[in-house]
Amino acid sequence: MIKAILVFNNHGKPRLSKFYVHVEEEMQQQIIKETFHLVSRRDDNVCNFLEGGSLIGGADYKLIYRHYATLYFVFCVDSSESELGILDLIQVFVETLDKCFENVCELDLIFHVDTVSYVVMNE
C-alpha cells in the first residue's frame, strides 16, 4: 500500500506531499526532511529502493524514488508493494504531468497545485 507521495527539489524544498495515512503536520515535515537526506545522499548509479528511515517505519516500509532534473519523486510504500511496479508508477505519473504541462518542471508544481493534486488523486 502506498503510504505517501513526496516530491521535492534538489535543495529539499517540498513541492508536493500527499500522505495516505494520518500523520501530524510536524511529523510530516520531519519525514520529508529525513527522506530528502536519505535519498539525496545516494549516488546516481545505485538502485532506487531503500528502507524507510526511523520516522517512516524502518524495515517495514520502503522508499522508492526517481530523480528527474531538479525534482525527486519519492513513494513511501509498505513491504507488500513491488519495487518495479512503483518505479513504473512513478514513470507514468511523470509522463502524465508532462502531458498536462508540456515538459513538467518545478515551477509547474508550484503554480499549478490544483492540477497536480487532481492528477495525484485521480490517476
- Sign (positive/negative) of CA torsion 78, 80, 84, 90? negative
The amino acid sitting at 54 is S
Q: Render pLDDT for 6-40 as a digit per residue (tens, 0 to 9).
A: 999 999 999 888 898 888 999 999 989 999 998 98
Please say if the pLDDT value at position 44 is more than 90: no
Q: What is the pLDDT, as a whole number, of residue 88?
A: 93
Give the predicted TM-score (pTM) of the model.
0.85
Query: What grid cell was written down for 122?
Result: 485521480
Q: What is the pLDDT, as a whole number, of residue 102?
A: 81
Q: Render pLDDT for 75-115 as a digit per residue (tens, 0 to 9).
A: 999 888 889 999 999 998 888 888 888 878 788 788 877 77
Q: What is the pLDDT, as a whole number, of residue 72?
A: 92
Q: How many CB atoms lie within 10 A of CB 13?
A: 11
Summarize the confidence of residues 60-85 as an average pLDDT. 90
